[in-house]
Each structure stands twice: as structure tokens, then as C-alpha cells.
Amino acid sequence: MKRLLSIFSLLALVVFQACEGPVGPEGPIGPQGPQGIQGTPGQDGVNIVGTTYEAEANFSAENEYGEVFDFPEELFEGDVVLVYRLVGVFEDRPIWRQLPQTVFLEDGILMYNFDFTVLDFAVFLDGTTDFSLLGPEWTDEQIFRIVVVPSDFPSGRIDFSDYEAVTTWLNIKEEDFVKITSK
């Protein structure tokens, strides 16, 4: 009986070992999947072009604490606009934060926000604080980066709040930002 149990144990060990397949650095490697969709010949990886702009805004009572900018080129329906505000510089590197951005002040809440159409976009102040009491560090010469993400951008692959990740994914360089002025 012990001999028969030993033979079955050895046979089970061989069978289970054979079922696993090759092992890679992350564990067992499964069977080859189906062929994926072929891209454009001669082009590697994702080749999506995002449109980029840089705008400076000055918020005041005269402009009702908001400025409107025309897009130099009309957008396509379904395109998405991301707006980032320059909040500082660290070790000669700009620090960008995605809008809407909320700042908690002693006398209330200040929010930098935006909206857009296929023709233009607006950046504006919102919140509970008295905007007329804000210092120039909150209202004057505010720099914004605008990234238009094409509607065919593969979503779910990137954290849009991460400015560096977005510009890297879309292969955007500093010289790609077109400076625009308000209406």
C-alpha cells in the first residue's frame, strides 16, 4: 500500500509540475495571446498630438476676477482641456497644479477654476473669500498651462493631475507651449 501511495504521489508531482509552464520574473508565463491591432507602419507606440498653450491672467474687479482666452485653433468635440497653474519653483523646476485648485485662507476659501468650449476657455476665481482683499501673489501675473487632450487619447492610462506625466505621455516640450493673450 505504501508503495502504491508513493507511485501516485510521484505521478501527481510530475503531472502538476507539467501544468505550470515556464516561469518568468513575475511568475508563471501563460499562453500567447491573440495578435493586437496593428499601428501605422513606421511609427512606434502612441502617437497622439496634444495642443498646448500658456496664458497669463490678472484677476481684478474690472474683469470680474476672470479672463477669457480664444483657442488659436478650434477644438474637436470630445477633446478635453486640462489647465495647470504655476504655484512655485523648486530647484529651478516649475511646480504645476491642476485646476480646479482650492486654497484655504484665514478668511475663507479661494478656488482657481476654469471652463471651456471648442472656441475658448476661461480661468477665474471662485470661493468664499473677499477677492478684493487678496494680495497680488494671488491675483497678478498668474501663469497657466493649457493642454488639449485629443478625444482619441487612450484614457485610463495616466493620472491627468500629474503635469509631468501628461506632458511626457503626449511628448510635450517647453517650446511647444504657444503663448496666448486674453480677449
Q: Is residue 113 part of a domain?
A: yes
Report the pLDDT value the prediction gives residue 15, as an integer from 0 to 100: 56
Segment 149-172, tens digit of pLDDT: 887 766 567 778 888 888 888 888
Residues 6+ apart with CB under 8 A from 140: 58, 59
Look at residue 36 and tell me if it is in a domain.
Answer: no
Quickly state the pLDDT bin for 178 (edges 50, 70, 90).
confident
Report if residue 19 sits inside a domain: no
Q: Is residue 89 part of a domain?
A: yes
Is 108 part of a structural domain of the chain? yes
Average pLDDT on 118-133 reads 96
Residue 37 lies inside a defined structural domain of this protein: no
Q: Give the structural domain span for 132.
A: 51-180
**Is pLDDT at 46 greater than 50 in this prediction?**
no
Say which CATH number the domain at 75 has: 2.60.40
Number of domains in the chain: 1
Instruction: Note the pTM of the prediction, 2 decimals.
Output: 0.69
CA nearest neighbour of 142 among 166, 124, 117 = 124
